[in-house]
Structure 1
Amino acid sequence: MTSDKRLTVPLFYNEFLLLLEDIALHPGFVMLCGDFNFHVDDAFNQNAVVFNDIISSASFSQLVAGPTHEAGHTLDLILTRALVNFVNEVKTSNPLPSDHAVVECWLNLSKPEQHKVKVKFRKFRDMDIDAFRYDIRSSTLCVTPSSDLNVLIDQYENVLADLMDVHAPETIPGVSPWYNNSLRKAKQDLRRWERLWNSSKLEVYRQIFRKQRILYKNMLEQAKKEYYRLSFEGCSARQLFQKVCRLSSPSSSKTLPSNEGMNRRQLAEHFSQFFSDKIDNIKCELDTIRDTSSFASAPVSSPKPATDVPPGEHHCMLQFDCVTVEAVKKLIIDSPSTSCELDPLPTWLVKKCVDELSPVIARIINLSLRNGHFPDSLEGANVNPLLKKTWTRS
């Protein structure tokens, strides 16, 4: 677009060439189609000649042969990579009352296979934090930490990863044991007829949907019966009793505290006292934070510049000061609870184990400062590009 907001043919050439160059860098099947409004069939049309040269320079080819407009020119085009031929039987027809013809073609492409994505997660809510902290204190990471920086980093990551697998192992969401491929196929058919009925509201689709729903319900019940029949076969009386008890009386977690020996009035007062104590604890924590903040914000007198340095001489910093465990602990607690998938532990869990991990992290920092070397294993990073707008609306 020019300064006076007019579209010009040279501007289209430049932008279209940039588009083809960007597409050429990506693998796969590419097809560009539409009304380009160039008479590519006319060898004496200057605009069409330039357009064909741009297509050839980007290793693309034009597949439509014959007129696509009532004036007898080829305006509607199909562009593909010259070396990848997956478009067959290109033809034109005029079934519509339009000045442009319909361009039809067959794509020699197979439907991609459906890939199942296995999702893994850790049950952090069921994790015993106290036991996890005890295992950290008893591990080689705290008992016999290495004096080599890279070895210590590997020790830190491996020990914590092993402890995570013990206390919060990765699990895959389970599927009901009676759910099989036949049920999956019947459910897919059920959803397909349901979508057809919702989109068309035809009575025939509603009847098919109802029949498929009854069929799926019966298949599901039959699969459950068969599964439990096979699981009960060969069981002893004790095993049979345990299975029946587990099915008829599922375990439920207690949501209320123990009220043994309390009447209703005492239980209500117990609840009231609990929340009162909770509010008092929050107030005390807020007062402590306010006192700490006021102390940290107090003005600090800046050191006076040294005046006893002889002219022509300069001070050199020969080494870094070692960080303290308390300084590392404060940095960990004050840091945001965001995590990266490269971290051996999520940040919120590191904060809960800060007393056990801060000496190790301080040791890693001090070894790095003392040796003047950044750990090799910490140089990796995950970069997630974000799509930003390349234009703004005026």
Structure 2
Amino acid sequence: MVRNVESSVDDVYEWLLKKGVSQKISQIFRELLAEHGLKQHISDATHRLGHTLDVLITREDSSILKGIPFVADPGICDNNGNRSGDPLAIRTLLRLSKAPRERRTVIFRKIHDINIDNFRKDLDFSSVTYKEASVEKLIIHYNRVLTATIDVHAPLKSKEIVIRPNTPWFTDDLYSAKRDRRKAERLMRRTNLAVHKDIFNQKCMQVTKLIQHCKSQFYINKIQEIGSDSKQLFKLTNNLMGNTNLSVLLEHDSEIDLASKFGEFFIGKIQKIRENLCSLTKSPTREVVLRADIKFDGIPLEAFEPMSIAEVCDIIGDAPTKSCKLDPIPTNVLKQCSESILPIITEIINKSFSEASVPLDFKKAIVRPLIKRQGLDKDEFKNYRPVSNLPFLSKVLEKAVASRLEKYLNDYQLHDNVQSAYRSSHSTETALLRLHHDITS
């Protein structure tokens, strides 16, 4: 048997040589089979001249073949009706099975089952005196109360789910049509009648047309809902075209070790930037380039004015409903219970103002490394940039500080006249209008 296999492979090599392929390439092909543990199963001739030009190659330890491969006449005829037995066909039975679906264990809370009225009643922040507590103590109390309350109303649960394709366009009508098609298929296989085969083909055509209709109608409605939101439209178009940015990471054996290496790299990068900045500022030859054109006669900004509950409420209401894993409760629940939580949030912000410090919990973030550009070497740390997901309350504090700074800059007219970035009612359009006016006037 081994001898026949070797001779059949030699026939392939002989055919390659006749086609002008060098002996070196033929030898590489022979060595590849042996090097990778491959086996050629066809020993009979598949060509009218007695050569084996069609081969069937599998791995030596593969169990995909259910039967012994054999050479047979495929029964193909030419235009004149003459049987064409060159080349012959290779027939065998294959042991194929549907790949098992991926399963994953997820941890979740049933947030939608929370009764908001009962949740508000159970919130109790009275055990801490706001005036005497520091900002760090208030943060600890805030997290403890919210975590304990949500654990009662929506405790953590684990569940094993099956990862299925995302088909948001799937409808009940399509489900019924596919069920009818499956019934027709079973009937056709059982009776093997031509009439039942025709019925099955009709059901298949109906399902295919219905799938196309459901898809097109779903995306038509989706585009109409998006309206003039170019960001969402661009995202939907990328999804339709299959241009999804898959997250890539370095090859690793341990996720913990990889996270530690990324952390060390990003921290080292920040330290280098700080060292370079310090060396520049301490340089004796450095000249001060930026100087004030007009002497400032206003009141120096030495402390921020405390925030009111109404101001904090506006900041929370305008903020995107995005959550972080470090948040004690989801942002959508926090917004619904804002009346009960606003006093302690306002006190946390004002304590941060008065102590001139940012709480340690606000400096923590979920850092995700993203490749800077597709095509870069994924095994180089320098090709990744860190994207931080901060706690929601940390972003609220940032907005509060920004509002106080903006108010101070506007009150004393400290904004540059030609500045368009990071200013309310200013954008690239205003910059272009200013430039056009300067050129034409």
- By the TM > 0.5 criterion, same fold? no
- For normalisation by structure 1, the TM-score amounts to 0.37
